[in-house]
Structure 1
Amino acid sequence: MQIRPATDADWSAIHPFFAAIIADGRTYAYPEGLSSDEARALWMERPPGVTVVAVDGDTVLGSAKAGPNRPGRGGHIATASFMVDPAQRGRGVGRALGKWALAWAREQGYRGVQFNAVVETNPAVRLWRSLGFEIVGTVPEAFDDRVAGLVGLHVMYRALP
C-alpha cells in the first residue's frame, strides 16, 4: 500500500465510496444526494490542506484529507478526515491513513490534531484511541445515525511532540 497526494484523476475512484459512505448514514454528517462536484468541493482540500489516497497498484483503497482545524489563531492545530472503500476494509487502510495524518501534521509543524465530530458508534473510535487520541468531550445526540438513531459526536484530540 502506498499513500500519495490525490490528483484530479483520482476523484473518479474516490467519489463512489464517498457517496456510499454518506448514503450509509452511519459516520458522516455531510448532506445526502450531493453531486459529484459538490462532494469534490468538500473532500478535495486546497493548500494549506492536502488530500491523499491510499493505493494498491492502480486501485484506490481509501482517502484522507488534512489541514488546519481553524484559521488564524486556531491554525496551529490540525484536523483530518478519512474514508476507506467499504470493499477494502480490514486491510489496515484506516490505520495507515491515520499514521500518515499524524506524520504529516508533525512535519507541517502542527502542535496537535483534533477530530471535531467522530460518531460515538463508529468502530474507528477504537482505532483513533489506539493511535493516541483521547475523547475530550461528547456532544449528546448530535448525530442521527441511520441505524442507531440519535448518538453522540466525540471531539477527539492528540498532542504532537
Structure 2
Amino acid sequence: MAKLVFRRAQRPGDDDALWAILEPVVREGTTYPVDPGASREEVFFYWFAPDKRVWVAEDADGIIGTYYLKPNSTGPAAHVANAGYMVLPAARGRGIARAMAEHSFAQAKLEGFRAMQFNLVIATNAAALHLWRSVGMEEIGRLPQAFRLPSGDYVDALVMYRLL
C-alpha cells in the first residue's frame, strides 16, 4: 500500500473527491442507513453532521478514503466513540479501511474516548465483519432484521465494541 496521509476533510474543497467515494456506497444501499436515492446535499448532511469530525485518507493519487468520528452518545456515555468508513471503489482491497480504522482508534483515544462502538454493521457485509473482527472489534449484540436491502430483504445488523 502506498503511504497514506490523514487530514481533516475540508469543505467545499474536498467535496468532489468525497462524492466519488460516498455516492457509490450510498447508491449500492447495502451498508449505510442512508436512502440510496438521497441527493448529494442529503448525503453530505449525513456525513458532515455537526457532531462528526470527518477525516480523509490521501495517497499520491488523491483522496481514496474517508471516515467520521463522533461520540456514540452523550453525558455519562460520551466517552464511547462511533465511526463510519468509506473507501473509493477503485482503491478497495488495498488495506485503506484497516489503515483508517487504526487511525480512527488512535485519534479517538487522543480525543479522550475510551472505547469504540459500531451500532449497525450489516450482517451480510462479510468484508467489513472480517476487518472489524481482525482489529479487535467484538460482536456484543445482534439486531434481528434491522436493515432492509435494496432487494427488499431484511437482514440482521451487529453492534460491535472495542475498548481503546
Task: Please tell me the TM-score bracket, short chain as reference.
Answer: over 0.9
- Residue aligning to 1:128: 132
Given residue 21 of structure 1, which amino acid in structure 2 is its aligned partner?
Answer: V
- Residue aligning to 1:159: 163
- Residue aligning to 2:15: 11
- Residue aligning to 2:30: 26
Aligned residues of 1:22 and 1:31 also touching (Cα < 8 A): yes
Overall identity of the aligned pairs, in %:
37
Matched, 1:53 2:56: yes
- Residue aligning to 2:110: 107
CA separation in 1, counterparts of 2:163 and 2:70? 15
CA separation in 2, counterparts of 1:45 and 1:98? 20
What TM-score, normalized to structure 1? 0.92
CA separation in 2, counterparts of 1:145 and 1:33? 13
Aligned residue pairs, count: 159
CA separation in 2, counterparts of 1:57 and 1:98? 20
CA separation in 1, counterparts of 2:30 and 2:152? 8
For residue 40 of structure 1, give the secondary structure of its aligned residue in structure 2: helix
What TM-score, normalized to structure 2? 0.90
TM-superposed deviation, 1:147 = 5.4
- Residues 82 and 134 from structure 1, CA distance in 2 versus in 1: closer, same or farther, beyond 3 angstroms? same
Aligned residues of 1:45 and 1:66 also touching (Cα < 8 A): no
Where in structure 1 are there 5+ consecutive unaligned residues? none
Aligned residues of 1:117 and 1:153 also touching (Cα < 8 A): yes
- Residue aligning to 2:67: 64
Given residue 78 of structure 2, which amino acid in structure 1 is its aligned partner?
Answer: G
Where in structure 2 are there 5+ consecutive unaligned residues? none
CA separation in 2, counterparts of 1:32 and 1:148? 13
